[in-house]
């Protein structure tokens, strides 16, 4: 494959290539003003020792804020020196709309400040990084791929920089090419690897600084510093149009139930957002199933009861959304997969696995339809997880519902028409789309932020942009240490307690969050009343082009803004309670602070205890 080559454009692609993404005010100045915040901790204090031990040189680094104000702010500094830089960039993980604009923003920032600086792209993802397969990214290349979908500029292959050999191959490449910085574009797994790479580079005194950019179509790289991932906005809008078209078709034909499986391995963010945008009759989230420990029978019964209730109103159609990770969240199926993968690790051949399952697992395996048996026996992915994109959960549930509805029909419990279903998997239809206006802007801004973090000498950071639900001009830009996003998983059994490696883990749907509550609020109406909503095709200009995902706009996620607000309050306390202030002021301040500290300490201890269960 030829990387960085010219493409044949349609009229729409040509039009999109002319769009100039916007920048927030903080990034429009020639002399960038930044401020270092306080040293960072971790979400759970019980993890601090394990993480600091694994990352002694990059743990506890300070937050970085790029300031929009031109006034002298205390503890701020200006980035006025822009020496010649050699920066490498690599796509990790699955392609996601907007990825090219990160490189475009990075290139623009580099060349704006020093035309002699060089941006080097690694061809073929991490494999290209290990084998030093590179191209120099030029203006012609970035203009050819500006605002375009896919990862065609550089391509991608392997997703990991994990083994000792891989880390040292990356180190050798960065030293051989004399790189000042390496920008890793990817999701959860890629940024755990990036953190380890940054730590190793620091330990070996390699001059290359490592910075990550949050890009994943799953939308699961979310935490207190990261509000959204590049590509998620586009993925949801394109899928929402496909789903809403099927909603309209279901309402028109009045004889089919559509079972639609969407991307989402360990988290159901795509399914939830598409449900909010389209109003299907039902959505079953992996997090709900795992939390309530719903069995395959429970899920089947829930759908059948809904079909029966709708039939009583003369409705024999509907639309049901499922995340691809649903199958793995069902307790008995998860345990079955664990047994299968355990036998794989022992070297048992595929044709003998079924005969070596435990009695209960064998009984469940034999109960399942033949096509699901074959799919469950597929080789695990490179990270030893189930190949979820190839397991047709939607067909399994549709078949189980059909069997149950036929049973109810024969017994006389159900007196409606025969149940009919049509199944779809929307796994790849959206990820190659032209990026939405939001993703074009967001990615371009993150590219600029990556450059400024490298110029500031930051290593082991993620480029961040917050306050995303507001206009681009009000976005807050900065960087957060990757170690501050890490947690340690603990598994406690009757005889053993296992502690995992510090990692950045996928963020699940918050079942107490506003987006989920919004879905629950209207669940009964949506199930029975066919309140389908069609957001239409992705808009690049005019009405609808500035829309953002509903889950982003309803959640209160401006963590960095709230941290700043807290610092402002603490500064005000210092100004009021000075030596020489009245006894009354001092007494109230001490009493209030003591109470405040007790409450926070109690909350911290409860969080730690809950995490260790």
Give the integer Cα–Cα distance in Å for 543 and 359.
59
What percentage of residues in the chain have a pLDDT greater than 70?
94
DSSP state of 595: H
Give the integer Cα–Cα distance in Å for 483 and 479.
12
Sheet containing strand 318-323, edge to edge, reads 282-283, 318-323, 257-262, 421-426
Residue 212, CB-side half-sphere exposure with 13 Å CA sphere: 31
Q: Closest Cα to residue 540, out of 435, 470, 433, 424?
A: 435
Give the integer Cα–Cα distance in Å for 373 and 281.
29
The tokens for 464 are 């961040």
Q: Closest Cα to residue 527, out of 297, 242, 308?
A: 308
State the residue for tokens 């020489």. Answer: 580
pTM score of the predicted model: 0.91
Task: Give pLDDT < 70 ranges for the chain.
Answer: 1, 69-75, 158, 382-384, 491-499, 557-561, 564, 603-613
pLDDT of residue 67: 87
359-367 helix and 331-345 helix, angle to the nearest 10 degrees: 110
Q: What is the 3-state secondary structure (H, E, C) of 334-393?
A: HHHHHHHHHHHHCCCCHHHHHHHCCHHHHHHHHHCCHHHHHHHCCCCCCCCCCCHHHCCH
The tokens for 275 are 């449900």
Give the integer Cα–Cα distance in Å for 307 and 419.
8
């Amino acid at each position: 494959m030829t990387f960085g080559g010219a493409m044949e454009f349609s009229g729409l692609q040509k039009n999109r290539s002319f769009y100039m993404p916007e920048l927030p005010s903080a990034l429009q100045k020639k002399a960038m003003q930044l401020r270092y915040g306080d040293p960072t901790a971790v979400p759970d204090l019980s993890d601090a020792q394990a993480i600091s031990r694994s990352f002694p040189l990059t743990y506890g680094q300070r937050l970085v804020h790029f300031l929009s104000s031109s006034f002298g702010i205390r503890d701020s500094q200006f980035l006025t020196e822009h020496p010649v830089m050699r920066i490498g960039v690599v796509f990790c993980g699955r392609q996601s709309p907007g990825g090219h604009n990160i490189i475009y923003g990075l290139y623009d920032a580099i060349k704006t400040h020093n035309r002699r600086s060089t941006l080097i792209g690694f061809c073929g993802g991490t494999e290209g990084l290990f084998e030093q397969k590179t191209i120099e990214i030029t203006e012609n290349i970035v203009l050819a791929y500006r605002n375009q979908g896919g990862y065609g500029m550089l391509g991608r292959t392997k997703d990991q920089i994990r083994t000792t050999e891989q880390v040292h191959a990356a180190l050798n490449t960065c030293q051989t090419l004399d790189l000042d910085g390496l920008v890793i574009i990817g999701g959860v797994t890629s940024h755990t690897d990036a953190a380890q790479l940054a730590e190793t580079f620091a330990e070996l005194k390699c001059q290359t600084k490592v910075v990550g950019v949050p890009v994943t179509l799953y939308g699961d790289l979310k935490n207190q510093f990261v509000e959204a991932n590049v590509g998620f906005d586009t993925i949801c809008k394109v899928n929402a149009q496909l789903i809403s078209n099927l909603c309209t078709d279901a309402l028109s034909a009045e004889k089919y139930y559509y079972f639609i499986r969407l991307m989402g391995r360990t988290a159901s963010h795509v399914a939830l957002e598409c449900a909010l945008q389209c109003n299907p009759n039902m959505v079953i989230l992996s997090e709900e199933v795992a939390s309530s420990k719903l069995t395959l029978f429970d899920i089947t019964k829930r759908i059948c009861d809904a079909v029966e209730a709708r039939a009583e109103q003369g409705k024999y159609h509907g639309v049901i959304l499922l995340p691809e990770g649903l199958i793995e969240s069902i307790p008995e199926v998860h345990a079955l997969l664990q047994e299968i993968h355990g036998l794989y690790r022992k070297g048992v051949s595929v044709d003998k696995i079924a005969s070596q399952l435990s009695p209960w697992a064998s009984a469940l395996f034999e109960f399942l339809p033949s096509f699901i048996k074959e799919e469950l026996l597929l080789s695990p992915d490179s990270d030893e997880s189930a190949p979820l994109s190839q397991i047709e959960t939607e067909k399994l549930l549709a078949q189980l519902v059909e069997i149950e509805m036929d049973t109810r029909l024969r017994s006389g419990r159900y007196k409606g028409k025969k149940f009919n279903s049509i199944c779809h998997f929307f796994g790849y239809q959206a990820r190659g789309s032209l990026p939405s206006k939001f993703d074009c802007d967001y990615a371009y801004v993150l590219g600029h932020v990556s450059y400024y973090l490298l110029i500031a000498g930051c290593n082991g950071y993620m480029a961040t942009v917050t306050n995303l639900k507001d206009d681009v001009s009000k976005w807050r830009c900065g960087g957060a240490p990757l170690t501050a996003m890490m947690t340690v998983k603990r598994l406690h059994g009757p005889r053993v307690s296992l502690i995992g490696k510090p990692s950045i883990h996928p963020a699940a749907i918050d079942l107490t969050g506003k987006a989920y509550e919004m879905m629950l609020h209207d669940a009964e109406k949506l199930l029975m009343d066919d309140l389908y909503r069609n957001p239409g095709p992705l808009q690049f200009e005019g009405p609808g082009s500035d829309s953002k995902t509903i889950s982003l706009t309803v959640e209160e996620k401006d963590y960095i803004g709230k941290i700043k607000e807290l610092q402002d309050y603490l500064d005000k306390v210092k100004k009021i309670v000075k030596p020489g202030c009245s006894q009354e002021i001092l007494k109230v301040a001490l009493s209030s602070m003591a109470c405040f500290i007790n409450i926070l300490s109690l909350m911290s201890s409860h969080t730690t205890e809950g995490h260790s269960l």
